[in-house]
Amino acid sequence: MDILVPPYRLARRVERLKPSTIREMLKVTQNPDVISFGGGLPAAELFPVADVSAAQDRVMRARGAAALQYSVTDGVPELRAWVANRLRRDGVAVHADDVIITNGSQQGLDLYARVFLDPGDVVALENPSYLGAIQAFDAFEPDYLAVASDAHGIVPEALETALGAADPKPKFLYLIPNYQNPTGNTLALERRAQVVAICARHGVPILEDDPYGEITFAREPWPPLLSHASQGAVTYLGTGSKMVAPGLRVAWMVVTDHALRERIVTAKQGADLHSSPYTQYVFHAYVEDGSRLDAHLDVVRATYRARRDAMTAALAAEMPAHVRWNVPDGGMFLWATVGAGIDTEVLFEHAVRDGVVFVPGRPFYPAKDRGDGMRLNFSAMPPERIAEGIARLGRAVRHLGG
């Protein structure tokens, strides 16, 4: 008897689903001789392995089978309460009932898009913006309204003009206000209330994605956009990935409008029933001692700061004058523009041969219309490897650009 063989008749949306450049590149970086500024990896040697192991033992002793059973879709109450408390510490009026625990904030991006987007709807975002978000949104076949951004984040005047002219209006604005991926830029304090007010005036809700807000080098974290907004105007995504470890896949979504929250919870139910209660309890058992978490975050901040300094010092020493970069005061990335007419996708081919990789800038622009930028990750490597990698990159740039 014949069995069905490909070609399959796949959904139209898969045409838009391209493998992420970054994930593809991580394959190259399996080679230990290659120095990678490409991935967005936290420093693995800082992961609190012993403390998470102890947390896991406590969970098994105290909860046993309950941690291994099916659970509620919106997340275990203890962890939701911890999220609300932590945000309240930053001056945001949030309750445990507003919180949904997700499988990484990547799932928050997917769920939000799932409840908002039909094919042909418009999403407004910074230009450039996080590739993984564009990838998550792409499954729902939207168009993009890319709004000009500068060293201080999205430009309010450009946002006002873009939203005023947009027809149809975007379903939402997607923003990464702190140490943005890919640029490392932060939305200026004085722009925050302005951006919230502009969106409110145009009836456009904001999806605030904040994985890096706590990874600050020189100051206290700034209050999220959520703190400037009336109820329901901003949905906030936070994550344990950069604070603790991404392998736990523990993240949270704050949705103060409970009608919207119910829709998102229902969408999550269809996607995965619920996030793992086991990892939620382990994460909670690790973070509930605030002083332990704060001590860990201090080490992360100091280490990444030293690595940023190593990278900017190496760039100053190795790069010709047409290469420019910013000096972010937090997060894991900086952004360099190469100049001299060099396309960073071409540079990438040379750099791989010289044993160093980065992420070329083009995929971060929804229109894929700028090829002079590159994202450099500084968190994953010790300073001496950073110096060696930038020296290799400098040779590749000089080879192409003179």
Ligand X SMILES: Cc1ncc(COP(=O)(O)O)c(C=O)c1O
251 binds ligand X (CB under 6 A): yes
- Exactly one of 176, 233, 282, 352 binds ligand X (CB under 6 A); that residue is 176
- Only segment of 98-106, 154-162, 223-231, 361-369 that touches ligand X (CB under 6 A): 98-106
Sequence letter at residue 141: E
Which lies closer to ligand X via its Cβ, residue 181 or residue 279? Answer: 181
Which lies closer to ligand X via its Cβ, residue 38 or residue 40? Answer: 40
Interaction residues for ligand X, span 222-241 (CB under 6 A): 239, 241
Q: From CA 39, how far away is CA 392, in angstroms rounded?
A: 17
- Exactly one of 48, 177, 211, 373 binds ligand X (CB under 6 A); that residue is 211
209 binds ligand X (CB under 6 A): yes
Compute the half-sphere exposure of residue 17: CA atoms within 13 Å on the CB side of its CA: 9
Minimum separation from the CB atom of position 27 to ligand X (A): 17
94 binds ligand X (CB under 6 A): no
Number of residues that bind ligand X (CB under 6 A): 14
Which lies closer to ligand X via its Cβ, residue 235 or residue 239? Answer: 239
Minimum separation from the CB atom of position 253 to ligand X (A): 11
- Only segment of 80-88, 99-107, 291-299, 348-356 that touches ligand X (CB under 6 A): 99-107
**Before 128, cis peptide (omega within 30)?**
yes
Residue nearest to ligand X (CB): 104
Give the number of other CB atoms < 10 A from CB of residue 334. 24
181 binds ligand X (CB under 6 A): yes
Q: From CA 397, how far away is CA 390, in angstroms rounded?
A: 10
Which lies closer to ligand X via its Cβ, residue 153 or residue 246? Answer: 246
366 binds ligand X (CB under 6 A): no
Which lies closer to ligand X via its Cβ, residue 105 or residue 256? Answer: 105
Minimum separation from the CB atom of position 38 to ligand X (A): 12
Q: Which helix (H) or strand (E) holds 153?
A: strand 153-154
Q: How many whole angstroms from its chain centre is CA 386?
A: 22
356 in Cβ contact with 34 (< 8 Å): yes
Q: From CA 198, how far away is CA 337, in angstroms rounded?
A: 30
Interaction residues for ligand X, span 33-72 (CB under 6 A): 40
276 binds ligand X (CB under 6 A): no
Q: From CA 304, how far away is CA 267, in angstroms rounded?
A: 36
- Exactly one of 38, 48, 75, 104 binds ligand X (CB under 6 A); that residue is 104
Which lies closer to ligand X via its Cβ, residue 253 or residue 314? Answer: 253
Which lies closer to ligand X via its Cβ, residue 138 or residue 318? Answer: 138
105 binds ligand X (CB under 6 A): yes
Which lies closer to ligand X via its Cβ, residue 130 or residue 137? Answer: 130
Q: From CA 41, how far away is CA 152, in angstroms rounded?
A: 24
The set of residues, in sequence order, having a beta carbon less than 8 Å from that of 14 and lying 6+ positions away, is none
What single-letter DSSP state applies at residue 66? G
168 in Cβ contact with 202 (< 8 Å): no
Q: From CA 343, how far away is CA 370, in angstroms rounded?
A: 9
- 175, with CB counted inside 10 A (0-12, 13-18, 19+), is buried
344 binds ligand X (CB under 6 A): no
Which lies closer to ligand X via its Cβ, residue 135 or residue 344? Answer: 135
Q: From CA 143, how far away is CA 263, in angstroms rounded?
A: 23
- Only segment of 49-57, 104-112, 288-296, 359-367 that touches ligand X (CB under 6 A): 104-112
Per-position x/- string for 129-158, each x denoting binding to ligand X as judged by CB under 6 A, each - no binding: -x-x--------------------------
The set of residues, in sequence order, having a beta carbon less than 8 Å from that of 85 and lying 6+ positions away, is none
Which lies closer to ligand X via its Cβ, residue 318 or residue 378? Answer: 378
Minimum separation from the CB atom of position 70 to ligand X (A): 23
Q: Which residues pair with 375 in a beta bridge?
A: 335, 359
330 binds ligand X (CB under 6 A): no
3-state class (DSSP) for residue 152:
coil
Q: Which pair of structure tokens corresponds to residue 33?
A: 């001789």
- 341, with CB counted inside 10 A (0-12, 13-18, 19+), is exposed
Q: Which residues bind ligand X (CB under 6 A)?
A: 40, 104-106, 130, 132, 176, 181, 209, 211, 239, 241, 246, 251
